[in-house]
Each structure stands twice: as C-alpha cells, then as structure tokens.
Chain A
Amino acid sequence: DAGITQSPRHKVTETGTPVTLRCHQTENHRYMYWYRQDPGHGLRLIHYSYGVKDTDKGEVSDGYSVSRSKTEDFLLTLESATSSQTSVYFCAIGREHGYTFGSGTRLTVV
C-alpha cells in the first residue's frame, strides 16, 4: 500500500482560529488532492497539486488555502475556521485511474 499519512487524526478548534492539516506521502507521487466528506454531499474536491508549488482550486475552495513546498507534503490551511468547515478531510494521491487515500482528519469547529 502507498504510504500516505494525515495529521492530526482528530482536531477540535474554535471559530476564527487558523488550522493547518498535513498530508505526507512516501510514494514520490506528483499529484496530491484534498477532499472533504460531508453527509449528503459525498466527497468534494477542495484543492489539488500537480507538482511542487503547483496548485489549483477545486469545487469548494473558498476559505481554504494550500501549500506544497516539497513533493512529499501537502498542507491544507483554514485561515479562519468556521462551523461550516466542520467535516472529515481526506488527502489522496494518484491519477485518473485510481487514488490512494489517507485515513482522514476529523475536524470540529466549535
């Protein structure tokens, strides 16, 4: 299995605080993705990266930013967390024929 880890696994934060989620891969894969999963909505793409310092927006990018300074790390930042960002966040690597996902980060904004 591909080595992809997310941290933290769980986080509770207060409205208005900044939060950074980390995705780390050991597969040297060029493409990385951040999705959020919510009941009734399924998995929705937030941002993705196609190389170091190369990123693009997804369907639900408002309120989120990303950075990729190294191939192995893809960071997702909520600049000022809101309750609507309470969700489970998944990182993935791969191309059009299949992704490998991390185990997710459950984020609660109170």
Chain B
Amino acid sequence: TQLLEQSPQFLSIQEGENLTVYCNSSSVFSSLQWYRQEPGEGPVLLVTVVTGGEVKKLKRLTFQFGDARKDSSLHITAAQPGDTGLYLCAGPVSGNTPLVFGKGTRLSVIA
C-alpha cells in the first residue's frame, strides 16, 4: 500500500506553461516535504510544509499543504527547461519516524 500517491506520474509541457502536481494520502501527516531529483543525483529538498493550509513560495514554485494535512500540491508558474526532473513528496508516518516517499512525478519541460 502506497501511503503517498503522486499524480500525474509523467508530465511533458512546453516552456512557459503552468502546471500543478499533487501528493495525496488517506493518512494525516505532521509535515510533508518536496524534493527534486535530477538524473544521477540524490533528491534535493525544496521545501517542508508543517501547518495545515500553509502556502510557501520558492521563486516560481508554490507549495500548499492541505487543511487536513493529508495532501499537498506543487504549482510551477512559467515552467523552464531547468525545472525538468523527478519531483518527490515525502513525510513521516508519525512523530520522528523515517520518511516515506511517493513514487514521484517526472516532469519534462521542452524549450
């Protein structure tokens, strides 16, 4: 059973378009994180959201944590080829337990 479901699995868009990817669960998480992974490298932390309803912005990326803390979304405005990569969401099942990861959304931005 996958605790964190990410959608879509794959996304290919043109440069300049906007997009949203989703991370959903039937479980409540105390926090959720988003990572980006490029080929041949480990995931790199983008953001951590902690409070239900929280919105965080990182340049053209906007992250939102659902009010019930069961879901999160990542919105990219005016996507660029440099945004290409695998986007992963992750969270601790409870307390200080190790992170569980979703399977990721593979984004390709075409120039």
Residues of B in contact with A, size category: 20 to 34
Given contacts A96-B92, A100-B45, A103-B40, contact A33 B98 (CB under 8 A): yes
SS of A interface (majority): strand
SS of B interface (majority): loop
Count how many pairs of residues, one from A and one from B, have CB atoms less than 8 Å apart in the complex. 53
Determine how close the nearest CB of chain B comes to the CB of A5; give it in whole angstroms.
Answer: 11
Given contacts A43-B88, A96-B31, A96-B96, contact A104 B41 (CB under 8 A): yes
| Segment at the A interface, from B56-64, B72-80, B99-107 | B99-107
| Chain B neighbourhood of A42, CB < 8 A | 88, 101-104
Indicate if the CB atoms of A98 and B101 lie closer than 8 Å. no
Indicate if the CB atoms of B41 and A96 lie closer than 8 Å. no
Given contacts A42-B103, A96-B30, contact A102 B48 (CB under 8 A): no
| Chain A neighbourhood of B99, CB < 8 A | 45, 96, 99
Given contacts A42-B88, A42-B102, contact A97 B41 (CB under 8 A): no
CA distance A48 to B99 in the complex (A): 11
Indicate if the CB atoms of A96 and B95 lie closer than 8 Å. yes
Determine whether A101 belongs to the interface, using a CB cutoff of 8 Å to chain B. Answer: yes
Count of chain A residues with a beta carbon within 8 Å of a chain B beta carbon:
22
CA distance A90 to B92 in the complex (A): 18
Which has the most chain A C-beta neighbours within 10 Å: B43, B50, B97, B104?
B43
Please name the residue on chain A nearest to B97 by beta carbon.
A96
Indicate if the CB atoms of A99 and B45 lie closer than 8 Å. yes
Determine how close the nearest CB of chain B comes to the CB of A76; give it in whole angstroms.
Answer: 15
Please name the residue on chain B nearest to A91 by beta carbon.
B42
Q: Can you sample 20 A-B contacts with CB below 8 Å? A: A33-B98, A35-B101, A41-B103, A42-B103, A43-B43, A43-B90, A45-B98, A58-B98, A90-B42, A90-B43, A92-B42, A95-B96, A96-B31, A96-B97, A96-B99, A99-B33, A99-B43, A103-B42, A104-B40, A104-B41
The 10 closest A-B pairs by CB, nearest first: A101-B42, A42-B103, A43-B101, A96-B92, A98-B45, A97-B48, A42-B101, A48-B98, A45-B98, A101-B43
